[in-house]
Amino acid sequence: MGLELPESMEELVYWTARNMGDGKVKAWVEKEMCPECGKAMMGKPRGKDGKIKIRATYYECPECEHKVEKREYEDTLTASIIYTCPECKFSGDIQVPFKRKKTKGVEALVFSCQKCNAKIPITKKMKKIKE
């Protein structure tokens, strides 16, 4: 397939690069166009001061103000992954739906190595403290 790393972080919803034993993974998710008007990229809303509200729980279209709940929007996106498999050292790239599942109590985006089928989890870096 030959995925290329994105040139700018601005159009990304998610980005990570990490080492996993003998392997490594770079993964990113690009923003997608507003499903309502198709004129602009959905993004985190901006406050009155023009700053992006990182902690907002929804995404908003800057053109038509269409809002989508964060999780609902992110589930429709596609993750692009360039990896070296920690099991068989195969290097490849793959695109998978950006759906995170809970494995062992941690949310992870899981994909399978195209050569050995090993399941490779990209876990969230920040672990939420359970109350």
Binding site for Zn ion (CB under 5 A): 34, 36-37, 61, 63-64, 66, 85, 87-88, 90, 113, 115-116, 118
Report in angstroms how near the CB of residue 66 gets to Zn ion at its nearest: 4
Report which residue type is found at 104: K
Shorter beta-carbon distance to Zn ion: residue 89 or 127: 89
**No. of helices (H) and no. of strands (E), the chain:** 1, 9
Report in angstroms how near the CB of residue 31 gets to Zn ion at its nearest: 12
List phi, psi (to 5°) of 79: -95, 135
Shorter beta-carbon distance to Zn ion: residue 103 or 112: 112
Please say whether the beta carbons of 24 and 83 come within 8 A.
yes
Query: Which one, of 68, 69, 72, lies nearest residue 34 by Cα?
Result: 68
Shorter beta-carbon distance to Zn ion: residue 6 or 43: 43
Shorter beta-carbon distance to Zn ion: residue 22 or 127: 22
Rounded Cα distance between 79 and 59, Å, is 17
Report in angstroms how near the CB of residue 75 gets to Zn ion at its nearest: 19
Rounded Cα distance between 49 and 27, Å, is 31
Report in angstroms how near the CB of residue 58 gets to Zn ion at its nearest: 13
In DSSP terms, 92 is beta-bridged to: 83
